[in-house]
């Protein structure tokens, strides 16, 4: 073990599922870390926020849709050490939301079947989550 500890970054993410069993992926815009990679919508948890509140806020800001805590079910989580921080990311599943997701922050959106997700390059923490979605959907 090295003496210095990396900060743990808490990020909540959501697999939004449409009526056809496809999951929404968002491509990170240029200029951001991991630009061009595909990820589940979500974001950093603010102090005092629950993961569910983070997701509700983030999908409103990023996608212009509404959902409720009762519509979010915990599915699995990612625990991944990056160079400067350790990521802990609960992934929720959501089949009930209101509105059509719109790319509010310049990101590209795509509805993808879990079996096709391996064709989309993702940040290293995300691919281990795919089998859970394949099993579920």
- Measured CA to CA in angstroms, residue 12 lies from 57, 58, 75, 88 at distances of 11, 9, 12, 8
Instruction: Say if residue 3's pLDDT is above 70.
Output: no
Helix (H, G, I), strand (E, B) or coil at 3: coil
Assigned token pair, 69: 């805590």
Q: What is d(CA 34, CA 29) in angstroms, rounded to the nearest whole number? A: 9
> Does the pLDDT at position 15 exceed 60?
yes
The pLDDT score that the predictor gives to residue 119 is 97
pLDDT at residue 126, as a whole number: 96
Q: Is 41 buried (19+), middle (13-18) or exposed (0-12) by CB count in 10 A?
A: buried
Domains and CATH numbers, the chain: 8-136 (3.90.79.10)
Question: Which among 51, 73, 60 is positioned nearest to 99, based on CA atoms?
Answer: 60
Predicted TM-score (pTM) of this structure = 0.94
* pLDDT at site 2: 59
């Amino acid at each position: 073990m090295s003496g210095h500890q990396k900060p743990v970054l808490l990020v909540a993410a959501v697999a939004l599922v449409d009526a056809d069993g496809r999951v929404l992926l968002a491509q990170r815009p240029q200029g951001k870390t991991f630009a061009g990679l595909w990820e589940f919508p979500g974001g950093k948890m603010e102090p005092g926020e629950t993961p569910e509140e983070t997701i509700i806020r983030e999908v409103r800001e990023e996608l212009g849709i509404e959902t409720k805590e009762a519509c979010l079910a915990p599915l699995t989580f990612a625990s991944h050490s990056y160079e400067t921080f350790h990521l802990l990311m609960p992934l929720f599943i959501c089949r009930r939301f209101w509105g059509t997701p719109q790319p509010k922050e310049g990101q590209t959106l795509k509805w993808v079947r879990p079996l096709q997700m391996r064709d989309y390059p993702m940040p290293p923490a995300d691919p281990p989550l795919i089998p859970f979605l394949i099993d579920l959907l």
